[in-house]
Amino acid sequence: MLVNYKDDEKLQSYLASFAEGLSREEIADKHNVQWKSIDMYFRRRGYKWDNELHTYVVKEESSSIVETVPLNTKAAQIVRLLDVKHPNIRQTANKMGFESIDSMGDYMKSNGYFWNDDLNNYEFQPELVEKKQVTSFNQTSEYVQDERAFLNLLMQHKDRLLDLLATEQQLNTYRFRGNKVNKTLTLTSGAVTLLEDYNKEFNITQRQIVESALAEFFERHGYSNQLKTVTI
């Protein structure tokens, strides 16, 4: 069933311009919009172009108000809510359950709708979706090519990388200045077990392990300059 748009001032203004004998291009210039926007404006309201009358006429009762857009989708509901004289896009976003205007915009884009400043509304443009899909595919292809080039580079320097990795695994030891002093520390049995096991397995003294652990602690937590003054 077609909706009565007799109260649509913009639509009536367009029709009046056609009645004056203005061409479509002249009407677009008069209203400072693109012709495509005017055409979409009429088609959304169930009108079609009549080549003989040189104006828009209402389609047959059986035809749809929106030619290519599904009427029952959430995106189409958003279009209809904004299709008023003074649309409130923020209120529409809240009403349709979106956290923000931007999140609603992302949803509309994912469904083939893009904002049209001339219409002050979203416009269904599936051709833009197809272009974005092609762009995405091309970007993926480039990424795959770059990844292969990176893997080839890694293989060319495999031996050097293995040496670096082996070096990274070595324990960084520190030599502290000063004389040896006795300092009694009470440790848990679990910490002592690990200390002794590591000492036996890697042949590193317990003092070296503790001093290295302290040095790395100071390095990471704001004492790097002070650490330099007491290490060789």
pLDDT tens per residue, range 154-207: 787 777 777 666 554 555 677 888 888 887 778 888 888 888 888 887 788 888
Cβ pair 18, 55 in contact under 8 A: yes
Residues 71-112: tens digit of each pLDDT: 557 888 888 888 877 788 888 888 888 989 999 988 888 888
Q: Where are the domains of the chain?
A: 9-58, 74-124, 129-167, 171-230
Report the candidate in 49, 115, 60, 112 with the shortest Cα–Cα distance to residue 87: 115
Cβ pair 153, 115 in contact under 8 A: no
Stated pTM of the model = 0.32
What distance lies between CA 44 and its chain's CA centroid? 30
| Residue 227 C-beta-side C-alpha neighbours within 13 Å | 17
| Assigned fold of 74-124 | Arc Repressor Mutant, subunit A (1.10.10)
Contacts of 221 (CB under 8 A, 6+ apart): none
Helical (H) or strand (E) element with 47: strand 47-50
